């Protein structure tokens, strides 16, 4: 997708360290971390919003969440982590290529959910 920062990262046009990669998604570090450890899980397919995904594409999301749970200890998140998906302006979404924030490396007491 043209003018999409995450598509540019996936294509290698913007360099980034990949902490994990398989056929469906990559994991990179967030450039402006909001926790001691802040990764982004980015699907290789460009979806703007959850509401755009078809039934078969939704399968990608379940796969990615499950894979995150498997690789979490290798990312230094053995003590736990929080997953966040911002959707739309009210949530503060800034990059409209669906992604999952993976936050941890500390007690996640801000805010208390
Ligand atoms: P969101 O606000 O949910 O759309 O999240 C977008 C996230 O992408 C923000 O936390 C940004 O800090 C992060 N971000 C933007 N550009 C880059 C980049 N080039 N590399 C890594 N993270 C980025
Ligand atoms: Zn994209």
95 CA to centre of ligand 2 in angstroms: 8
Domain at 5-104, CATH class: alpha beta
Between the alpha carbon of residue 18 and those of residues 41, 54, 78, 87, the distances in Å are: 10, 27, 19, 24
Active-site annotation holds for 99 = yes
Does the beta carbon of 14 sit less than 6 angstroms from any atom of ligand 1? yes
Query: For the chain, what percent of residues have pLDDT higher than 70?
Result: 100
DSSP letter at 8 equals H
CA distances from residue 45 to 72, 81, 82, 93, 108 in whole angstroms, order as listed: 22, 24, 23, 18, 30
The pLDDT tens digits of the residues spanning 21-41 come to 999 999 999 999 999 999 999
Per DSSP, which regions of 1-113 are E strands?
20-21, 25-29, 37-43, 81-84, 100-104
Indicate whether residue 49 lines ligand 1 (CB < 6 A): no
- Is the pLDDT reported for residue 111 higher than 90? no
pLDDT digits (tens, 9 = 90+) for 55-89: 888 999 999 999 999 999 999 999 999 999 999 99
Of 50, 44, 36, 46, residue with least CA distance to 18:
44
Q: Is the CB of 65 under 6 A from ligand 1?
A: no
- Whole-prediction pTM: 0.96
Would the pLDDT of 110 be above 80? no
The values of phi and psi at residue 6, to 5°, are -75, -35
């Amino acid at each position: 997708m043209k003018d999409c920062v995450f598509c540019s990262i996936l294509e290698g046009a913007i360099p980034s360290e990949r902490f994990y990669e398989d056929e469906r998604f990559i994991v990179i570090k967030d450039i402006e971390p909001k926790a001691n450890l802040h990764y982004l899980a980015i699907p290789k397919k460009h979806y703007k919003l959850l509401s755009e995904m078809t039934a078969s594409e939704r399968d990608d999301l379940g796969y990615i969440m499950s894979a995150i749970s498997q690789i979490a200890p290798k990312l230094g998140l053995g003590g736990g982590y929080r997953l966040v998906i911002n959707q739309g302006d009210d949530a503060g979404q800034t990059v409209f290529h669906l992604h999952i924030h993976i936050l941890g490396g500390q007690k996640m007491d801000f805010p208390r959910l």
